[in-house]
């Protein structure tokens, strides 16, 4: 079996960069008086009665047990004297663009995966020491230009680079060379694998699987019986095998699918089922590219080639197939006039990068 530990010229060197508590750091940069204080960005806590959640918080706030996505009311109980701020997205987007421009200027394949995270494929450098030198320079350049620190992981695969960037936060630089790949992964709790959430972690614990080493060694048939086919990818990751490439996707503006019926049809059930299948496919595409969309467009071509399309822009970005499906069916109802349909299509556009961790389904 081919392993992820190949050496020589085919060795990949992947860099993953993640800004440190990004929103909070931007706020502190704006108002240096906040430095050293617990700062929480998110919904208005309204003296503990606020609804909504924590977007992010400074490391000082984390010391009180505050985490992203926690209800803001709970954060208020844990740390009522924290500085609570509403998010300033235009500023975060501007700083993010500055950081991404610095990364792009290095001239390597580049993939932004969220507002403050990106991969670079440094394989061309050939050896890890050269990649480490570049990582140090990138950290310095970002600090000089934005005043912000980031954490970087360097590893032979994307998943391991991502795990590595997270392990020495803040201001970390973690190098996992091929010969250390398994000793790095083995003792880590399974939760460190991006995509393993609370539920999967609990299920794995129940099976006696606590560390990545446990997962790598577990009987794959039992894992498949419990988690389905996705268990294969999961065990590969645990074994350090991950062939995912750094995908540049400049210029990708939309994903779409359409299908022509073998016979023109006005069968509402068949039309609805076809729309479901098309929706599932475009949503899978979205997930593969770590994207969220806001605009859903449905296209119907009737007998005689009369084509009607209708689009709707959602209030929020989404990657959720159920949301997209609901929107697609509403649009379809609006433009379906009862005549026989020849072709049906769906297109998703208005993309935003999303956090890969949120996109990998919790199996
Ligand atoms: Mg970050």
pLDDT in tens, 190-221: 999 987 888 889 999 999 999 999 999 999 99
Class of domain 186-238: mainly alpha
Cα of 25 from ligand 1 centre, angstroms:
10
Q: Does domain 24-88 have CATH number 1.25.40.10?
A: no
Q: What's the rounded mean pLDDT across residues 315-322?
A: 84
Cα of 19 from ligand 1 centre, angstroms:
4
Cα of 33 from ligand 1 centre, angstroms:
22
Asked if pLDDT for residue 141 goes beyond 90, the answer is yes
* Sequence-separated (6 or more) residues with CB below 8 Å from residue 176: 153, 154, 155, 156, 160, 161, 164, 184
Contact 172, 38 (CB under 8 A): no
Q: For 254-359, CATH number?
A: 3.30.1490.100
Query: Which phi and psi angles does 67 have, rounded to 5°?
Result: -135, 160
Cα of 231 from ligand 1 centre, angstroms:
27
Provide the residue ranges of all domains of the chain, joining segments of one domain with +: 8-22+90-183, 24-88, 186-238, 254-359
- Predicted confidence (pLDDT) per residue in 89-111, tens digit: 778 888 988 999 999 999 999 99
- Predicted confidence (pLDDT) per residue in 223-254, tens digit: 999 988 889 989 999 999 998 899 876 546 78
Cα of 6 from ligand 1 centre, angstroms:
30
- Predicted confidence (pLDDT) per residue in 248-278, tens digit: 765 467 888 888 888 899 999 999 999 999 9
Asked if pLDDT for residue 354 goes beyond 60, the answer is no
Q: What is the pLDDT of residue 188?
A: 98
* Sequence-separated (6 or more) residues with CB below 8 Å from residue 223: 231, 234, 235
- Determine the 3-state secondary structure of 260 from DSSP: strand
This prediction has a pTM of 0.70
Architecture of domain 8-22+90-183: 2-Layer Sandwich (3.30)
Cα of 16 from ligand 1 centre, angstroms:
11
Cα of 138 from ligand 1 centre, angstroms:
16
Least confident of 71-75, 85-89, 329-333, 351-355: 351-355
Cα of 18 from ligand 1 centre, angstroms:
5
* Sequence-separated (6 or more) residues with CB below 8 Å from residue 221: none
Cα of 170 from ligand 1 centre, angstroms:
10
Cα of 21 from ligand 1 centre, angstroms:
5
Cα of 297 from ligand 1 centre, angstroms:
32
Q: ∠ CA(263), CA(266), CA(270), 5° rounding?
A: 80
Instruction: Give the β-pairing of 83-85 and 39-42.
Output: parallel
Cα of 114 from ligand 1 centre, angstroms:
9
Asked if pLDDT for residue 34 goes beyond 80, the answer is yes
Cα of 191 from ligand 1 centre, angstroms:
17
Question: E-assigned strands of the chain?
Answer: 14-19, 39-42, 54-57, 83-85, 110-114, 117-121, 150-155, 173-175, 254-265, 291-302, 307-318, 341-353
Q: What residues are annotated to the active site?
A: 117
Half-sphere exposure of 301 (CA within 13 A, CB side): 13
Question: Over the chain, what is the mean pLDDT?
Answer: 89
Percentage of the chain beyond pLDDT 70 is 92
Kindly write down the DSSP assignment for every residue of 317-345, as one continuous string. Answer: EE--HHHHHHHHHHHHHHH--SSPEEEEE
């Amino acid at each position: 079996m081919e392993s992820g530990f190949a050496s020589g010229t085919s060795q990949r060197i992947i860099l993953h960069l993640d800004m440190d508590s990004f929103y909070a750091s931007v706020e502190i940069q704006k108002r240096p008086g906040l430095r050293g204080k617990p700062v929480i960005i998110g919904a208005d806590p309204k003296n503990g009665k606020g609804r909504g959640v924590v977007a992010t918080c400074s490391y000082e706030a984390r010391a009180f047990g505050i985490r992203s996505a926690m209800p803001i009311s709970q954060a208020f109980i844990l740390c009522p004297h924290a500085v609570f701020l509403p998010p300033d997205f235009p500023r975060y987007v501007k700083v993010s663009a500055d950081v991404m421009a610095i990364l792009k200027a290095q001239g390597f394949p580049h993939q932004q995966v969220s507002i403050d995270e990106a991969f670079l494929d440094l394989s061309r450098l050939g050896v890890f020491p050269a990649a480490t030198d570049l990582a140090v320079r990138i950290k310095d350049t970002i600090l000089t230009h934005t005043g912000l620190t980031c954490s970087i992981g360097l590893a032979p695969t994307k998943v391991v680079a991502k795990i590595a960037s997270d392990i020495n936060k803040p201001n970390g630089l973690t190098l996992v060379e091929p010969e250390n790949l398994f000793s790095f992964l083995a003792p880590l709790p399974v939760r460190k694998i991006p995509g393993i959430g609370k539920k999967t972690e609990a299920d794995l614990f129940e099976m006696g699987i606590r560390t990545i080493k446990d997962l790598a060694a577990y009987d794959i048939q039992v894992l498949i019986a419990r988690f389905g086919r996705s268990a294969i990818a999961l065990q590969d990751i645990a074994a350090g095998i991950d062939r995912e490439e750094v995908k540049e996707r400049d210029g990708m503006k939309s994903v779409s699918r359409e299908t022509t019926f073998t016979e023109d049809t006005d069968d509402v059930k068949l039309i609805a089922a076809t729309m479901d299948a098309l929706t599932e496919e475009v949503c899978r595409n979205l997930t593969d590219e770590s994207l969220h969309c806001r605009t859903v467009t449905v296209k119907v071509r009737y007998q005689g080639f009369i084509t009607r399309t209708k689009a709707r822009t959602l209030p929020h970005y989404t990657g959720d197939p159920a949301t997209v499906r609901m929107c697609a069916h509403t649009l379809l109802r609006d433009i379906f006039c009862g005549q026989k349909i020849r072709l049906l299509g769906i297109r998703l556009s208005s993309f935003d990068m999303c956090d890969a961790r949120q996109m990998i389904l919790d199996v």
